[in-house]
Structure 1
Amino acid sequence: MATGGNAIRGTRVGAGPMGEQDHGFHADRVAVSYWDALGNETVRYFAAGIPDAEIPETIDSPHSGLPAGRDKNNPPALAKSEPYKTHLAYVKERRTDEEAASLLDDALQQLRERRGQ
């Protein structure tokens, strides 16, 4: 198909206004640097008018996934996560072996009564 002599479709060729006149004015902002335990720096930008209390103290570093803080010399440590527990592990925390045996005996007795044994 022929393009009709219009090789650059959708673009404006020639001199004209550029930058802020075309795209609007940039809002005032503040750059805040965060560092993780590996020394990676991440810069986040926040609106200049917000109070410091609303700017987070820690973020997750996109480079390493580690927590990153504002203090370069003292980055936050990785929080120790608790290993995954199964449902049985939680039950064993709540019940003693004697309580578990008693509950099992009661449940088996009810089952036998329903079946007529």
Structure 2
Amino acid sequence: MAGGGNAIRGSRVGAGPMGEAERGEAAPRQRVVYFCAHAHQSVITFAVEAQIPDSWDCPRCGLPASLDSENPPPPPKIEPYKTHLAYVKERRSDKEAEEILDEAIQMLRSRRKSGDIIF
């Protein structure tokens, strides 16, 4: 027997002539063009009844894009990396830091006097 006798060889689940009729009709769509600061035009397809967002991230560069080709949104300002210490200094003054440190030292000293082992 040549070929193994497998009558459905080469086909897969879901394959066949049915296609669109099997899944149902596609919803009516509209194409919307967004513009970013790098002059990229992104065509996004939405359902006709969908609410169209005012902005969209450009798929090419990631910058925000808008519907207005004459005035695309500016690139976002990138904040420099801050260390943990920089964030702490934003929240606490030097005087507050001294008070917190003094309180912690007093607590450690009182625990040592009471015999606690502190590593």
Q: TM-score range by the shorter chain?
A: 0.7 to 0.9
Q: Are residues 114 and 40 of structure 1, via their aligned partners in 2, closer, same or farther at CA, if it must alter by over 3 Å?
A: same
C-alpha displacement of 1:90: 2.3
Unaligned runs of 5+ in 2: 115-119
- Report the aligned-residue RMSD: 2.8
C-alpha displacement of 1:59: 0.9
Q: 1:78 aligns with which of 72, 75, 78?
A: 75
| AA matched with 2:28 | D
Using the size of structure 2 for normalisation, the TM-score is 0.72
Q: Are residues 109 and 18 of structure 1, via their aligned partners in 2, closer, same or farther at CA, if it must alter by over 3 Å?
A: closer
Q: What is the count of residue pairs matched by the alignment?
A: 109
C-alpha displacement of 1:21: 4.9
Q: Are residues 103 and 29 of structure 1, via their aligned partners in 2, closer, same or farther at CA, if it must alter by over 3 Å?
A: same
Q: Which residue of 2 is the match for residue 14 of structure 1?
A: none
Counterparts of 1:13-92 in structure 2, within 5 Å, are 20-21=20-21, 24-50=24-50, 54-92=51-89
Q: Secondary structure of 2:102's partner? A: helix
Unaligned runs of 5+ in 1: 12-16
Instruction: Tell me how far apart the structure 2 counterparts of residues 37 and 19 of structure 1 sit (CA, whole Å).
Output: 41
Instruction: Tell me how far apart the structure 1 counterparts of residues 20 and 99 of structure 2 sit (CA, whole Å).
Output: 77
Q: Which residue of 1 is the match for residue 98 of structure 2?
A: 101
Using the size of structure 1 for normalisation, the TM-score is 0.73
Q: Are residues 116 and 75 of structure 1, via their aligned partners in 2, closer, same or farther at CA, if it must alter by over 3 Å?
A: same
Q: Secondary structure of 1:100's partner? A: helix
1:54-109 CA distances to partner (integer Å, 9 max, x unpaired)?
Answer: 21111111111111111112111112133333332222122221221122122112
Q: Are residues 47 and 114 of structure 1, via their aligned partners in 2, closer, same or farther at CA, if it must alter by over 3 Å?
A: same
